[in-house]
Amino acid sequence: MSEQCAVPLCLPNNCKWDAQTGEYSKSAGSRESLCVIEAAIERLKSIKGPVCVVSIAGPCRKGKSYILSKSFDQGEVFPLGHFLDPETMGIWMWIVPDKFKDSNGKEFTVVLLDSEGIDAVSSDGSDDHCIFTLTILLASVLIYNSAGVPTRTDLDGLDFIVKLSQRIQLRSSAQTSDPVGGESLQADANQFHKTFPFFVWLLRDVVLSLPKDCHSIKDYFLTRVFLSDPTSKGDQSNQVAESILNFFPGFDAFKLPPPSSDPEVVLNLNRDEVQQDVNKSFVRGVQEFKALLRSKLSPKRSFNDGEYVTGEALAALVNIYVSALNTPGTVPSVQSAWETFVHTKCTEAKLAALRVYESVMTSELDGLLPCDSDNIRQVQERAIGESMRIFQEETVGVSASSSEKYLDELMDSMNEALKRWQGENNRQTKEQCHKLLRALKEELLDPILRELSGKDGASVSFAQIIGGYSAIEQGFKRDAKGAKDICAQVFYEFHPEMQAEMEKHMAYLQQLKDFDESLAFERQEKARQEQERQRIEEENARLEEERRAKEKEMEILKAKQEEDRKRLEEQFKADMEAQREQMHNMMTANMEELRKDREAIVQQNQTFKESMEHMRQSMEKRNDQIVELQKQIVALANRPPPPPQKGGICVIS
């Protein structure tokens, strides 16, 4: 299969495409459903950044495939038909290799979708507009391509545009009281412009000039073709015109002259040998159309304000939408499709990030336990850094508010994992410390104690016993490995064992001339204080680590929110501009009522303010958590030392 050719993104069930050879054929069966082509999905998934989808639709055999590839200088990526039968079936896809940039300098990829003629299936005897519906759902810019300048009556045939309001649902049924019913769908229709593509009507083979009072073909559309007639309210043509201006966020029109009067040239428009015979006005027109399209390109928006669609997201949406279109009685929902994608993507990103965390922890701590808790924390910090990087990379396009929940879950899982690592480290520390203490005691104190209970017991001095104890303490400090607080705890807990031992020799001890009870007590008290000091230090370090991890999480969210804010502002500005333009279009087309409705919607539009407020609140919440941790750290550091314990008679313990 040639890499220089478009691939089908989805085909009717009665069409076949061989991924190996690129061969495409139509079988005799009837058309019942749409099939998504995995090879195209794979290509889409490889685009990690935002995409702008330019789709073309319109009647059969009107040069759609030609103009779509020509508009992006892509050669003959979409096969042209030279016969009367429709050539393109389903939706074919080509990813433009050059990168484009939006007004913020953010790169995006242009995906071209060439669709079958609107009337291609009616020749099969069915009224199936699934392909058109899918094209609308996927596009950022829709080129509606038709021959000649339509008259008002020609609009009558475009009822599939009016029917979009029954074929697409904006919000998920959870948010509407009447899932597929009329009312909620009507309410949706008023908001379609939030996710629908920009509508460009491209007229081919236009030879006639514009009337004097029209500055442009768009002006002609608004004042002639779309002009609302109050006496024929509810007419099909009125409804089509209103739907175009109401559902789509923007409208423009462009006309192209015929490429040539010579049928041979027209038929072979892509061949080098006919290029000198192509009308210059056509070539110029194509260049101007290219420029018009360029001005409309921007990353595809998702259902949620401030989020955009990546190649990967588009691949997921294709699958979700096609599955809805194939299910009788189901209307594809823009919101639930996006929510499904966000949930799947963020869950995958969380799991991938957690795997990275585990692998860093395991590889760096393998064979290192028992070790100082600080070592574990340092590894933990590196592992969190790596894991967050993955999470951020995997969730591009998804806003901070949508990904926050999953990031919190990821942090919780990593904290749980840290506790497990620390628990294991504490266990191993304890085990080793016990072993060490026993060995030290056996070596350094037991011989003295044996002597004490022997026949020469009287020759033992209390200083000797204290010396043995000090030697154990030094040996322990030198050789104990692991969590410091646990070492100190084990050392302190070792005293009762010693005490029991000492009590056996009490009678002898009290006879020793240099026996000093308070000195013995001091030793125990020192061990207790050391244990407490280490415990506080550990608690302090733990809180400090928690604070750093929270800060890291906050950094990620801040970076995401900063991007969201920029994008929201940009989208809001573009929205306002588009709304104004579209209201102006409505006014020109005499659709005063529609214009007023739109104005009311614009005035109610709180999303920008709400999103900003949500961002501010979530930042504040995290800031508060960090401040609280900081307070706990200070409080812990300033805690007065615990009072000495009043114990009974102690010897060494």
CA distance 123 to 576: 42
Q: Does 243 bind Mg ion (CB under 5 A)?
A: no
Helix, strand, or coil here: 97?
Answer: strand
Residue closer to ligand GTP by CB (options 63, 306) is 63
Residues sharing a CB contact under 8 Å with residue 547, sequence separation 6 or more, in sequence order: 626, 629, 630, 633
Q: Does 335 bind Mg ion (CB under 5 A)?
A: no
Residue closest to 407 by CA, chosen among 560, 566, 616, 613: 560
Residue closer to ligand GTP by CB (options 203, 480) is 203
- Identify residues 78-137 at the interface with Mg ion (CB under 5 A): 87-88
Residue closer to Mg ion by CB (options 117, 299) is 117
Q: Indicate the DSSP class of residue 8.
A: E
Stretch that binds Mg ion, among 65-73, 314-322, 343-351, 508-516 (CB under 5 A): 65-73
Burial of 532 (0-12, 13-18, 19+ CB in 10 A): middle
CA distance 170 to 179: 11
Q: Does 65 bind Mg ion (CB under 5 A)?
A: yes
CB of 123 to ligand GTP, least distance (A): 11
Residue whose Cβ sits closest to ligand GTP? 63
Maximal C-alpha separation, the chain:
131
- Identify residues 112-141 at the interface with ligand GTP (CB under 6 A): 117
- Identify residues 267-306 at the interface with ligand GTP (CB under 6 A): 267, 269
Q: Does 55 bind Mg ion (CB under 5 A)?
A: no
Select from Mg ion, ligand GTP, none the partner in contact with residue 475, using the beta carbon and a kind-dependent cut-off of 5 to 8 Å. none
CA distance 327 to 432: 64
Q: Does 50 bind ligand GTP (CB under 6 A)?
A: no
CA distance 25 to 623: 61
CA distance 375 to 353: 21
Of positions 31, 62, 560, 598, contacts ligand GTP by CB under 6 A? 62
Q: Does 12 bind ligand GTP (CB under 6 A)?
A: no
CB of 87 to Mg ion, least distance (A): 5
Q: Give the strand pairing for 91-101 and 198-204.
A: unpaired
- Identify residues 514-573 at the interface with ligand GTP (CB under 6 A): none
Select from ligand GTP, Mg ion, none the partner in contact with residue 193, using the beta carbon and a kind-dependent cut-off of 5 to 8 Å. none
CA separation, residue 164 to residues 119, 131, 138, 231 (Å)? 16, 12, 14, 25
Of positions 250, 258, 306, 311, contacts ligand GTP by CB under 6 A? 258
Of positions 6, 47, 57, 87, contacts ligand GTP by CB under 6 A? 87
Stretch that binds ligand GTP, among 78-86, 125-133, 236-244, 608-616 (CB under 6 A): 78-86
Q: Indicate the DSSP class of residue 9.
A: E
CA separation, residue 606 to residues 99, 154, 611 (Å)? 34, 38, 8
Residue closest to 304 by CA, chosen among 331, 346, 340, 339: 339
CA separation, residue 389 to residues 311, 395, 425, 559 (Å)? 20, 10, 27, 12
CB of 60 to ligand GTP, least distance (A): 4
b/e map of 300-322 (b: 16 or more CB within 10 Å)? bbbbbbbbbbbbbbbbbbbbbbb
CB of 285 to ligand GTP, least distance (A): 9
Stretch that binds ligand GTP, among 26-34, 265-273, 366-374, 517-525 (CB under 6 A): 265-273
Select from Mg ion, ligand GTP, none the partner in contact with residue 332, using the beta carbon and a kind-dependent cut-off of 5 to 8 Å. none
Select from Mg ion, ligand GTP, none the partner in contact with residue 370, using the beta carbon and a kind-dependent cut-off of 5 to 8 Å. none
CB of 90 to ligand GTP, least distance (A): 10
**Token code pair at residue 446:** 């037991």
Interface residues with Mg ion (CB under 5 A) are 64-65, 87-88
Interface residues with ligand GTP (CB under 6 A) are 60-66, 80-82, 86-88, 117, 204-205, 256, 258-259, 266-267, 269
